[in-house]
Structure 1
Amino acid sequence: MFPIIKKIAMWTLLGAAGFVAVSLALNWDLIQRVYLGGKHVYETVPPPLPAQIKRPAVLIFSKTNAFRHEEAIPAANLLFARFASDNGWSSFQTENGAVFRPDILSRFDTVLFNNVSGDVFTPEQQAAFKTFVEKGGGFLAIHASGDSSHKGWSWYTNEVIGTNFIGHPLSPQFQKATVIVEDRTHPATRGLPADWSRTDEWYSFDKPPRKPGYHILAALDERSYKPEGIFGMDLHMGSDHPIVWWHCVGKGRALYSGLGHTAQSYAEPAHQAMLLGALKWTLKLEGPRCDSCKRCRGPTLRT
């Protein structure tokens, strides 16, 4: 009997080890991105760009070295390309970080981060992007572009996003919540209802980005959903939980929206209208201007 039991135990262990090995192999990319500090892939040769890029022009960037929003990214890319086509703008979509060099960025008016995650740039590429924004370029960042995977780049986290992501609900992950639209005059939020009910994955931050120069467009009513994260982590920010805001970074315009985890988000008419208005603002087609330099703390609000 004992030899048989030993054989059964051995084959059980071998089967379990094989199952673990296969699972690791099949999910290795996700494991690297989420549990092992992210991937470290940096491009040095840019892709071919069109010889002529008509202005205004949008650079749509969706590289991910950390968690990848597999469904949302293509849906958002299609939507932003349609915005450009419908409005007579140029757009170029890439996941190649080598486009972030001065001569290429100078051909665009706005950079759009579509759920960009992780450490995606070389130091030279970071410097080129920083100069682009501070000297007057537009920047629109969506959802994961403001998560904690960017924490190694202090300028981006502190000066562009303006706060630190701490988590999102997991019980359940996607919840219906009320978005309180605080400013209904900005191009991004013009026409939205004062209380906007929708379903998404809701981000929490270590502090509200309510500081000089920052302008909150929309905030979450925490009474309308359950801000509880992994292992019951308390994600409450209290009565002040901003989720969409803009500010000036030098002469550049920057807007961050925590909305947009799911592909379905980019089919919602109200969300589409918000993103189109945000893009128009970063392209300097509508809304408040950013005329001050260096570190803007009081933008010139002229239209």
Structure 2
Amino acid sequence: MFRRIKKLLSWGLLALAAWVAISVAMNWDLIQRVALGGKHDHESVPPPLPAQIKRPAILIFSKTNAFRHEEAIPAANSLFARFTRQNGWGAFQTENGAVFRPDILTRFDAVLFNNVSGDVFTPEQEAAFKAFVEKGGGFLAIHASGDSSHKGWAWYAHEVIGTNFIGHPMSPQFQKARVMVEDRIHPATRALPSIWTRTDEWYSFDKPSRKAGYHVLATLDEGSYNPEGMFGTDLRMGKDHPIAWWHCVGKGRVLYSGLGHTAQSYAEPAYQKMLLGALKWTLRLDGQGCDTPPAGR
């Protein structure tokens, strides 16, 4: 009897080990991205670009070497493609970091990070993007493009985003909350109500971006949702909880929106208006700020 039990246990352990091995193999990409510090894949050869790209032009970038927003990224890319068609703008969408080269970036007036995460650039590519922005290129970053997976890139974390992501709620993850629109003049927020109620995954940061002198567009009313993270972590920032802001980096216009985790976000008329206004601002087609001709013009 004892031998039989021992044999059954042995078979059970072997089956468990096989199941674990299969699960790890099937989810290895996700494990690398989330549990092992992210991937470090860097491209050296850019994809072929069209011979002519109409100006103004937007480079839409959605590479992920950390957590990937599988549903949001294609939904956002589809929306941005519609914006460019409807407005007669040029655009190129890619996940190949090798396009971040000086001679290629001069073909664009703004760069859009669509939920970009992780270590996506070589040092040379980082330098090319930094020069593009500081010389007057526009930059729009959404949601995960401001998370903690970028902390290894000091210029981006400290001078572009300007504050450090510390977490998002998990009780539950997606909650309805009140967004308090502070700036009703900026192109990104002028079409929004002063109190905007919507559902999303709400980011918290270690300090308000306002402290860095950034222009806050909207804040979160923490009394309207439960800002509690993993294992009950307190994610409250207090009365000043910015969720969207803009500022100048050198001569470049930079705007960050912490909204947009879900695919449904990009079907919301109000958020569509916000993103369209943000793009027009980064392209210098509307609004004020960082007044200098865009790079490449």
**TM-score band, normalised by the shorter chain?**
over 0.9
Counterpart of 1:276 in structure 2 is 276
Provide the rounded CA distance (Å) in 2 between the counterparts of 1:42 and 1:216: 34
User: Does the 8 Å CA contact 1:139/1:254 hold for their aligned counterparts?
Assistant: yes
RMSD: 1.0
Structure 1 residue identity aligned to 2:23: S
Deviations 1:49-78 (A, max 9, x none): 000011000000000000000000000001
Cα deviation, residue 19, structure 1: 1.0
Displaced runs of 4 or more, over 4 A: none
Aligned twin of 1:300:
none
Residue 24 of structure 2 is matched in structure 1 by: 24
State the Cα distance separating 1:191 from its structure 2 match. Answer: 1.5
Give 3-state SS (helix, strand or coil) of 1:247's partner: strand
How far, CA to CA, are the matches of 2:160 and 2:55 in structure 1? 24
Q: 1:172 to 1:286 in 2, by over 3 A?
A: same
Report the Cα offset of residue 212 of structure 1.
5.4
Aligned residue number for residue 8 of structure 1:
8
**Cα distance in 2 between the residues matched to 1:83 and 1:176:** 27
**Structure 2 residue 40 is matched with structure 1 residue 40:** yes
Q: Is contact 2:110–2:138 with CA below 8 Å preserved after alignment?
A: yes
User: Which position in structure 1 is the counterpart of 2:89?
Assistant: 89
Give distance in 2, aligned partners of 1:155 and 1:197.
Answer: 33
Cα shift at 1:102 = 0.4
Note the 1:1-303 alignment, pairs <5 A: 1-211=1-211, 213-291=213-291
Q: Hey, what's the Cα distance between the residues in 1 that align with 2:147 and 2:6?
A: 49
Matched residues in 1 for 2:89 and 2:33: separation? 34
Which residue identity is paired with 1:262?
A: T
Distance 2:31 2:178 in 1: 33
Displacement of 1:211 = 3.3
**Contact 1:250-1:292 within 8 A present in 2 as well:** no
The number of residues matched between the two structures is: 293
| Aligned-partner residue type, residue 158 of structure 1 | H
Is the CA contact 2:84–2:91 (under 8 Å) kept in the aligned structure 1?
Answer: yes
- Residue segments in structure 2 that go unaligned for 5+ positions in a row: none
2:168 touches 2:201 (CA, 8 Å); kept in 1?
yes
Q: Does the C-alpha gap of structure 1 residues 211 and 292 become closer, same or farther in structure 2, counting only changes over 3 Å? A: farther
Cα distance in 2 for residues equivalent to 1:213 and 1:150: 21
Structure 1: 5+ residue stretches without partners: 294-303
Identity %: 80
Q: Which TM-score applies when normalising by structure 2?
A: 0.97
